[in-house]
Every structure is written in structure tokens, then in C-alpha cells.
Amino acid sequence: MKKLILTAALFTGLLFAGNLKAQDAAAPPDPNAPVMQFKTDTIKYGTIPYASDGYRYFDFTNTGKEPLIIKEAHGSCGCTIPTPPKEPIQPGQSAQIKVHYDTQRPGHFIKSVTVTSNANPGTKVVYIVGDVMAKPADPAPAANTPAAPANK
């Protein structure tokens, strides 16, 4: 009997939790919310020299009806550092997220930047992709050759 009651309680709890989740999913998005429209979702660095300029910019526009506020932007690792604008972006206004990749890491890379804002949707992931060339070899040190004897 206890198993039957426990099973019924568990089933009822799952049904209730599922109903709450369905209600959350059914909530319509705010039609006046800001919308972050990126010019591109992926910036391609191409093949770049070791220790070269690692800065690139994601251009976007607020195509919504309310000011856009970026709450946070973070890279997928410590080698990717985004810098979002601090001030609200008004409807129709464009701005940039500055991204720096550490180009002292040779090889192929694919990194993500996650942007959290008050926009609809609230989270957007954009990517940087490229190849950093190998570190150039250090020049060989000059050979120490003995000085030629002086003629007298």
C-alpha cells in the first residue's frame, strides 16, 4: 500500500512539474523587447602571423523597441576576451563587441563568446575562427670566431 501511495505522489509531482514547465515555455516573448541583430555570427581571422593583432569586432544593431543592455559577455576560455559596450544601446542604434584572441597560441582555433542581455532571446553565442602561424624561429647566434692575427 505504501508503494502505491508513493508511486501516486511521485507521478502527481512529475505531472505538476511538467505543467509548470509547459506554462513557462508557453509565455509569449515581449514584443517590445530589444533585439540584438548581429552583422555576422562568426568572425573568420583566416591565417594570421604569430603574435599579430588579435582584435576583431562584432557589429550589431538593436532592432527592438526598447534599450538593449548587455549584462555580460565572456569567452569560452582565457585566451578570448570580449569587451562589450557599457552604455545601453537605443533602438535602431548600432554598437560593437570588441574581442581579443591571444595570437601567441599557434594552430587552429574555434572559440565562442556568449553574450547575455535583456534582448529577446536573452543569450546569444557568436564565434571566432582562424589559424595562428607557428612562432618564427629565433635567429641563430653569431658564431664566436677567433680574431685574425694582426700583420706587423
Residue 71 located in a structural domain: yes
pLDDT tens readout for residues 96-135: 999 999 999 999 999 999 999 999 999 999 999 999 999 9
Distance CA 89, CA 71 (A): 12
Q: How many domains does the chain have?
A: 1
Residue 126 located in a structural domain: yes
Residue 118 located in a structural domain: yes
Residue 137 located in a structural domain: no
Residue 57 located in a structural domain: yes
How many alpha carbons lie under 13 Å from residue 82 in its C-beta half-sphere?
Answer: 26
Q: Which residues, including other chains, have CB under 8 Å from residue 69's CB and lie 6 or more apart? A: 34, 88, 89, 117, 118
- CATH at residue 120: 2.60.40.10
Q: Is the pTM here over 0.75, yes or no?
A: no
Residue 30 located in a structural domain: no
pLDDT tens readout for residues 17-46: 555 444 445 567 788 899 999 999 999 999
Give me the domain span that covers residue 107. Answer: 36-132
